A and B are shown apart, each in its own frame.
Chain A
């Protein structure tokens, strides 16, 4: 089992706000990154260093962390945001990485 826990599936109405969470005992100490993956495509980085957005990523995507839970929030969700989302952070050793199990986001 992964050291990072995500809800397997989340749904959101078009134009609404959704929060996708990632839980892990080490998240108080380490940065988190988030990836969006659509079928048949390579993942795309949407958040790095817990709250930083790469250039080209819409500002409706934001990241935050509190305690042992990191969150990816999408404000004003668009149809094209329907995808799988994965969190990533260091494991308990501190010098290796691990992914969460992924969350399938459905836009209604």
Chain B
């Protein structure tokens, strides 16, 4: 079945970087864009950006420009999000989420979600 499995929780110091992975299975990895969404404790969902697993092209939310990098490894069907210069406000659960379909509807919804990865930023 289609599933996304994310890496485990991380604890980071302020100023460090965190890299979360999301391994896909059960479908053609390069056919569906992947989004990253985060959720701070007790807060709402926040869209971070999107990556095209085929060509590696990315678009990031303005808020994260210059601090985020999304990459992919087609050999392992895995996408990554790397967030640098971490601060306490980056403490959140980070989700990968697959676009509901390929091509032009890549922004129309996310149908498959990873289980989430907790990143805690604390000195």
Chain A residues near B53: list those with CB within 8 A.
none
Question: Could you tell me if A90 and B45 are in contact, using CB atoms closer than 8 angstroms?
Answer: no
Give how many A-B residue pairs fall within 8 Å (CB-CB): 68
Main secondary structure of the interface of A (DSSP, over half): strand
Question: Could you tell me if B35 and A97 are in contact, using CB atoms closer than 8 angstroms?
Answer: yes
User: 1/0 per position for B41-74, CB-CB distance to A under 8 A?
Assistant: 0001111001000000001111000000000000
Main secondary structure of the interface of B (DSSP, over half): strand
Contact of A99 among B47, B108, B113 (CB under 8 A): B47
User: 1/0 per position for B76-109, CB-CB distance to A under 8 A?
Assistant: 0000000000000000000101001000010111
Chain A residues near B100: list those with CB within 8 A.
33, 45, 48-49, 54
Contact of B109 among A37, A42, A49, A84 (CB under 8 A): A49
A68-106 with Cβ < 8 A to chain B = 84, 86, 88, 90, 95-102
User: 1/0 per position for B18-48, CB-CB distance to A under 8 A?
Assistant: 0000000000000000010100000011110
Question: Could you tell me if A31 and B116 are in contact, using CB atoms closer than 8 angstroms?
Answer: no
Question: Using a CB–CB distance below 8 Å, which chain B residues touch chain A?
Answer: 35, 37, 44-47, 50, 59-62, 95, 97, 100, 105, 107-111, 113-116
Question: Using a CB–CB distance below 8 Å, which chain A residues touch chain B?
Answer: 30-31, 33, 35, 37, 42-45, 47-49, 54, 84, 86, 88, 90, 95-102
21 pairs across A/B with beta carbons < 8 Å? A31-B108, A33-B109, A33-B110, A42-B95, A42-B114, A42-B115, A43-B37, A43-B45, A43-B95, A43-B97, A43-B113, A45-B100, A45-B110, A54-B109, A86-B45, A90-B107, A96-B47, A97-B61, A98-B47, A99-B44, A102-B45
